[in-house]
Structure 1
Amino acid sequence: MGEDGIRRLVAHAVQAPSGGNVQPWTFLARGDVLHCRTDDTRPPTLLDFQGSATHLAIGAAVENIDLAARAAGWACQVRSFPDPADPGLVCTLAFSRDPRLPHPPLADWIGRRATNRRHGPARPLDAAHRQTLTDCAADSGALLQLITERTELTELGEVIGAGDRLRMLNPRLHREMMAELRWTPDEVRDTRDGIDLATLEADAADLAGLSLARHWPHLALVRELGGGAAFAEGAVKSVAGSSALGHLTVPGTGPTAQVAGGRALQRLWLTATSLGLGLQPLTVLLYLFARAEHPDATGLDATETATLHTLRKRMSALLPPRTGHTELMLFRLSYAPPPTARSLRREVDSVLRFEAAGPTPPGRPSAP
């Protein structure tokens, strides 16, 4: 395949979605084997409970690589967590030439997929689109539940909004959220990660409020007084401008299931893009549920944990949890116009390095 071929594949990989656009991956190429690793230079966050968001993102990146490789006539053999002694090695991908492979249509949509936060008309989800998305999830080994009834959407919008309010008024979650945002065009270009404010599709009033909320001392008193209802309004409005809410799960638990789920999620998102549907993740609440339901709910106080248990009960009335399944993503679908901006990605050479194939045991990259 050569270095140029590997670079092209990694260029597709980094187009994958990741929470906060943190891009939690690095790649090591050794011959025709590509090692996909977690980027351990990035500090853990409260939302990335037990690395679940990281593994989901890397799974999505692996799916992009597989699609792009097959489009170029290369078969891709994926092994997840091949070395138990090296949990940072998430996958190895081995490539072999096979010009007989059919072109995967989803590969053509990798560069067009994006988070779309724009509000659309509250029109019903087309029945054919619903079936296509459900079949896509099932073909990937996942389960997709879609909520389209308007009163149920309203209830879930309020639940999601309450989770957004909790996030904004928790000191650590607030600090980590503000660190993800890129406030100026220069900061966007310099970092090439995080959330570009332009992608929020916010009006001037919302941006002014966000700028004020950027500073924790402004919110400490709001938290003390039990205020902050306005922080829930964004989700309520977004869901109101949606055609459906989706809840994607995959059988199994733990990192391997999360990586497989990331691949299923990426296929679903690419399929939605091909149908002209905008997709916006609303997954903060799922990550908070996972933390609150763990015996050690570090980072959440008793009141926050109790609030999350109440919100889980409300959501479960419409989206019952499935025993033995991993919750991957909660998201909204809309027939909104295309987004006006897209978050940048880091350059390929900043996340990829090459190493000559040699006696190093498989799965164990030598020191950079």
Structure 2
Amino acid sequence: MCVGFYIKGYSWKMKMTEEWRAILGKAIWAASGDNAQPWSVNILSEDRVVVHLATEKQNVYNLVPIPDWISLGMFIENMSLATAGLGKRIDTEMIDDYQIQVDLVPENDLVINPISKFIESRSVNRLSYKRDQIAAQTKHKLAALFDEDMELHWFDTDKKRFQIARAIMRSTDLRLRMEETYQIHKNMLDWENAQSHDGLPIESIGLSAFSAKSLKWLLANERRNNRVMKLPGATIFTQIELDLIPAMLCGAHFIASFKPDMRPHPQAVDYVRAGRAMQRFWLTLTQEHLCMQPWYIVFMFSLYVERGMFFTTQHDRAQKLYKHFTQQITAPENISVNHMFFTGRVGVPNKNPKGRSLRKPLDSFIIDDGL
């Protein structure tokens, strides 16, 4: 008679092949909001894993889990790019809105995509860029990376840059004044390390030394922070440094969205597809020596207002942000907030930030169901 046994924390290591270690080691370099890294992986066999999204990491920035689905898609795309170098491809199946089964399948004729070598170097640059226009051929190359039910909208005139700058400034004024975001901001910023494995290094976000010290002083005490944030003009210097200057000094802004006639009601699986496209987009930008910074909060807060969701006591400021964004930016371009999935700015970097978000060790993402 054969007696089986299970040692907790060891079972998955028996299934962690060198292939999975190589593939997942690339996958975890996907982008995620505030470097939350909301994924975990259950290794079922040498050719099958299940990737999970951590729903417990939900906060006011992802009450609708579009950012998480996009991040999951980026994770899956990194897996796909990594497998090509091993003579394999991946087949995927959504189990539910928060789990994807991934199977390794032999494929001898795959060509390694050259953007795969930028997986680990791709990063957010929150500093100012050169104002060089994005070349038409580059825009065409980037547009070709998306599925046929998706489209890119570009904003590269000074008028449009300023309209978007105003929207981002409004979102910063709102989020810094919201009591709902205090703990998020306090927890996500890393004040000690220029290279942070589980947060945002303060040196990476683009604040001056004075503003960074002021922010640290505010976040040290919630009552103090809330009192100061009730004052007129309390956020103006942060708006100028983090929003106005970078938004004006870039090559272009963009909005990526689904075509309403082809995808009237996007589902989780569609946002995962969009995330895969966005990863190809971002890696291609890196290949072209361009950089990117998302400005997601404008989009998410506007989506909440559009859908009638209560997310803050700062109701008037939220309404003003929504009206500015929709009336000045999206409506003139016939863009539906309900069909957007990514927003950001791109350009040629002036310099790279001193700090950078890294990733937690691969083994910390592996879960075991004990089977």
Please indicate the TM-score interval, normalised by the length of the shorter structure: 0.7 to 0.9
Q: Is the 8 A contact 1:142 1:264 kept in 2?
A: no
Say yes or no: does 1:238 pair with 2:246.
yes
Q: Say yes or no: does 1:217 pair with 2:223.
A: yes
Which 10-residue stretch deviates more, 262-271 or 244-253? 244-253
Structure 1 gaps of 5+ residues are: 355-365
Q: What is the CA deviation profile of residues 284-327 of structure 1, one whole-angstrom value per residue up to 9, with x for unaligned ones?
A: 1111112222233233443233223322323324543238x632
Deviations, residues 174-204 of structure 1 (Å, cap 9, x unaligned): 3212221111129x66xx2121112224331
Question: 2:98 maps to which residue?
Answer: 88
The offset of 1:38, in angstroms, is 1.3
Displacement of 1:2 after TM fit?
6.0
Shift of 1:259: 1.1
- State the partner residue of 2:202: 197
| In 2: Cα distance, 1:236 partner to 1:248 partner | 22
DSSP 3-state at the match of 1:193? coil
Q: Give the SS at the match of 2:109.
A: coil
The one-letter amino acid of 1:230's match is F
* Contact 1:59-1:263 within 8 A present in 2 as well: yes
Matched with 2:58 is 44
The CA RMSD measured in Å over matched residues stands at 2.3
Residue identity matched to 1:117: R
1:116 equivalent in structure 2: 125
Distance 1:162 1:301, change over 3 A: closer
Residue 292 of structure 1 contacts residue 308 of structure 1 at CA under 8 Å; is this kept in 2?
no
For 1:26 and 1:183, how far apart are their aligned partners in 2? Answer: 26
Kindly provide the CA deviation profile for residues 135-162 of structure 1, in whole angstroms up to 9, marking residues without a partner as x: 22356x5211111111211121111111
Does residue 63 (structure 1) correspond to residue 68 (structure 2)? The answer is no
- Cα separation, 2, equivalents of 1:219 and 1:121: 35
User: Which residue of 2 is the match for residue 79 of structure 1?
Assistant: 93
Q: Is the 8 A contact 2:38 2:57 kept in 1?
A: no
Q: Deviations over 1:218-261 (max 9, x none)?
A: 44334434433333212111112101001111344232222111
Decide whether the 8 Å contact of 2:146 with 2:274 is kept in 1.
no
| Cα distance in 1, alignment partners of residues 285 and 367 from structure 2 | 33
Conservation of the 8 A alpha-carbon contact between 1:158 and 1:232: no
Instruction: Identify the match of residue 280 of structure 1 among 293, 302, 314.
Output: 293
Pick which of 245-254 and 106-115 moved more.
245-254
- Distance, in Å, in 1 between the alignment partners of 2:248 and 2:362 is 38
Residue of structure 1 equivalent to 2:282:
269
Residue 296 of structure 1, aligned match among 287, 292, 309: 309
CA shift for structure 1 position 164: 1.1
Counterpart-to-counterpart distance in 2, 1:318 and 1:209: 38
Pick aligned residue for 1:8 from 13, 22, 25: 22
Query: TM-score scaled by structure 2?
Result: 0.86
Identity of aligned residues (%): 18
Match of 1:185 in 2: 193
Change (3 A) 1:184 1:319: farther
TM-score in terms of structure 1 length: 0.87
Note the C-alpha offset of 1:268: 0.6
Aligned-partner Cα distance in 1 for 2:246–2:177: 20
User: What letter corresponds to residue 38 of structure 2 in structure 1?
Assistant: P
**Equivalent in the alignment of 1:311:** 324
What's the offset of the Cα at 1:367? 5.4
Question: Structure 1: how far apart are the matches of 2:127 and 2:229?
Answer: 29
Query: 1:164, 1:318 → 2: CA distance?
Result: 23
**1-structure distance, mates of 2:76, 2:109:** 21
Q: 1:134, CA displacement in angstroms?
A: 2.1
Amino acid at match of 2:48: V
Equivalent in the alignment of 1:360: none
Cα distance per residue 1:301-356 (max 9 Å; x no partner): 43233223322323324543238x632221111211344332110110000246xx
**Contact 1:49–1:290 under 8 Å retained in 2:** no
Q: CA deviation at 1:66?
A: 0.7
Residue 351 of structure 1 is matched in structure 2 by: 365
**Contact 2:211 2:238 (C-alpha < 8 Å) held by counterparts:** no
Q: Which residue of 2 is the match for residue 24 of structure 1?
A: 38
How many residues align? The count is 346
Moved more, 253-262 or 9-18: 253-262
